Structure 1
Amino acid sequence: MEIEKIFKEAQDFLPINGTDYIEMYVGNAQQAAYFYRSAFGFQLKAYSGLETGNKTTVSYVLEQDKIRLVLTSSLVKDGPVNTFVNAHGDGVKVVALWVDNATKAWEETTSRGAESYLEPKTVSDENGSVVFSGIHTYGETVHIFVERSAYKGVFLPGFKAISDGFKTEPIGLKYVDHIVGNVKLGEMNKWCQFYEKVMGFTQLVSFDDKDISTEYSALMSKVMSNGNGRIKFPINEPAHGKRKSQIEEYIEFYNDAGVQHIAVATDDIIHTVSELRRRGVQFLNVPAVYYDTVTERVGEIDEDMKRLKELNILIDRDEEGYLLQIFTKPLVTRPTLFFEIIQRKGAQSFGKGNFKALFEAIEREQELRGTL
């Protein structure tokens, strides 16, 4: 598949078509699937478990437009899924990338220093075959390369189509915009270099502790992207502050580096967030005074500012246009993984003008948890 390269600095020796799926290891996949279906409007598409001959894990595959979540739990006392959940709580294990050639993707990355997670293998059923390979990245997070051009099934071999009669309305989520990783102090540059040297990405933007800080805490971040811009991985590390930053809190409870949040795109953030709030999803709140000066900062926008204020949606502008964004509170038991809802109206940035308000909102939550 030929996709236009928009970031010329990217070496792009590893062509990636997009995010194939995100797999979360969770304590109870059945209940987690119900949550993401009823709250976020995902549709149940496929299943693997005892009924499909899988004696060790159970997985539910959920879809909404181009977003695919896989929720996996263990069926046995020990094993890698339970080991992961015991250490980290519910969290992202796999960020799977859709490629044309999984064998070549593995060869390109491991030859440049990546640690192999899965050597290339072909798995088949009556619907065709899929080639997989994989590498380790920060913490216990892995990238699986998925080559699926010869497969016509519902998801992957070993999964069957499933419907239980429970239907929810999608809320307008379109695709994965970016996936953010938190790493330990001093490791941001190491992992940015990994994505540059091992995967051919380029750095889009960098934020230091002057950009992302409050009176009490700070972080630093760099955004890595592949050449076509379909895969963007911001990498965060803590910066020195008077108190514990959100990154330090994450690492304390997650017990390692890992995926902090998944940003999902919508074309109508007012509708999407209205539905999420109606369905009980909780968001970080910024003070009402944020909206007193936001028009001076971002200029005219198409959306109704009153509705944005009611929903607590943030706005920022760059040279290409503007964006609207909002962040959920943690969606899992530990104060770790959350979602961002984002609508881009031309902007290619990440909401730098909102960092201070967002950081202060996170600190208010940390204070309630007693972890600031």
Structure 2
Amino acid sequence: MTETAAEPVLLTAGPGETDPLPTGRADAVVFAVGDAERAAHRYAAALGLRCTAYAGPETEEPETVSYVLSAPGTRIVLTSLVQVIGPRGRELAGYLARHGDGVLDLSVSVPDVYYAYDYAVDRGALSLAEPYEARDRFGTVVLATIGVPGGTRHTLVDRSRYGGPYLPGYLPFEAW
């Protein structure tokens, strides 16, 4: 039987393998929402989270605005569309049109993004973005993205050489 896109991909050790995919912990849950600022205020008030980072037009991200809410062991990112002028805006607009507000990405911290990406893709995960490095004044993050059935994507993250508030392009948030 051949694997179809609707079948789940299990990232565990296969026959003759000793090591499953090495994962650390959940890194972030990224939501696509109609109004990220309003949603951030609601989440912060309801869940006791603190807004720790921001990206948007002021940080050279013209298509989207994102607020990062944090608490010990928890990171939620709320992203909404500002305008559609490129691939990031088209992707978010398409997601919101198909699904409405919802989980866009489940980011997973891994010790080696290159290995984890190859491991997942070799076992049937859809490659959405091969491993790459993103840099800013806070350091370097290694990222890759895979697709899984149902439309949610998983971003593999290694932030061992990064000291910033979330990812490159995000600045510390101090307005509230």
TM-score between both structures, scaled by the size of structure 1:
0.41
Q: Which residue of 2 aligns with 1:32?
A: 39
Among 39, 43, 46, the alignment partner of 2:53 is 46
Structure 1 unmatched runs, 5+:
1-9, 166-372
Partner of 2:148: 137
Q: Deviations over 1:253-291 (max 9, x none)?
A: xxxxxxxxxxxxxxxxxxxxxxxxxxxxxxxxxxxxxxx
Structure 1 residue 89: Cα displacement: 1.0
The alpha-carbon deviation at position 56 of structure 1 amounts to 1.0
Q: Partners of 1:13 and 1:103 in 2: how far apart?
A: 15
User: 1:97 maps to what in 2?
Assistant: 108
- Matching residue of 1:121: 132
5+ unaligned residues in a row in structure 2: which ranges?
A: 1-11, 14-18
- SS of 1:51 mapped into structure 2: helix
Residues 106-145 of structure 1: CA deviation (Å, up to 9, x unaligned): 1111112211011101000111100001111122101100
Matches within 5 A, 1:13-92: 13-77=20-84, 79-92=90-103
Partner of 1:148: 159
Distance (Å, rounded) in 1 between the aligned partners of 2:153 and 2:160: 22
| Identical amino acids, percent of aligned pairs | 37
- Residues paired across the two proteins, number: 156
Provide the secondary structure at the position in 1 that maps to 2:160. coil
Measure, in 2, the Cα distance between the counterparts of 1:27 and 1:83: 12
2:174 to 144, 158, 163: 163
The 5 A counterparts of 1:184-333 are: none
**Amino acid corresponding to residue 98 of structure 1 in structure 2:** S
What is the alpha-carbon distance in structure 2 between the residues aligned to residue 113 and residue 82 of structure 1?
27
Q: What is the alpha-carbon distance in structure 2 between the residues aligned to residue 121 and residue 139 of structure 1? A: 25
Distance in 2 of aligned mates of 1:73 and 1:118: 21
* CA shift for structure 1 position 163: 1.4
Which structure has the higher relative contact order (CA within 8 Å, separation 6+)?
Answer: 2
Structure with the largest fraction of helix: 1
Q: d(CA) in 1 for partners of 2:70 and 2:151?
A: 24
CA distance in 2, matches of 1:55, 1:32: 19
Supply the AA of the counterpart residue of 2:95. Answer: F
Measured on the aligned residues, the alpha-carbon RMSD in Å equals 1.1
Give 1:26 shift.
0.5
Name the aligned partner's letter for residue 79 of structure 2.
Answer: T
Aligned-partner Cα distance in 2 for 1:127–1:64: 21
C-alpha offsets along residues 337-358 of structure 1, whole Å, 9 cap, x if unaligned?
Answer: xxxxxxxxxxxxxxxxxxxxxx
CA distance in 2, matches of 1:83, 1:118: 18
Specify the code of the residue in structure 2 equivalent to 1:87.
Answer: R
- Taking the aligned partners of 1:150 and 1:115, their CA distance within structure 2 comes to 27
Pair 1:109 & 2:120 matched: yes
- 1:13 is displaced (CA, Å) by 2.5
SS of match in other structure, 1:116: strand
Counterpart AA for 1:24: F
The residue aligned with 1:224 is: none
- TM-score normalized by the length of structure 2: 0.85
CA-CA distance at 1:151 after TM superposition: 0.4
| Distance in 1, Cα, partners of 2:30 & 2:99 | 14
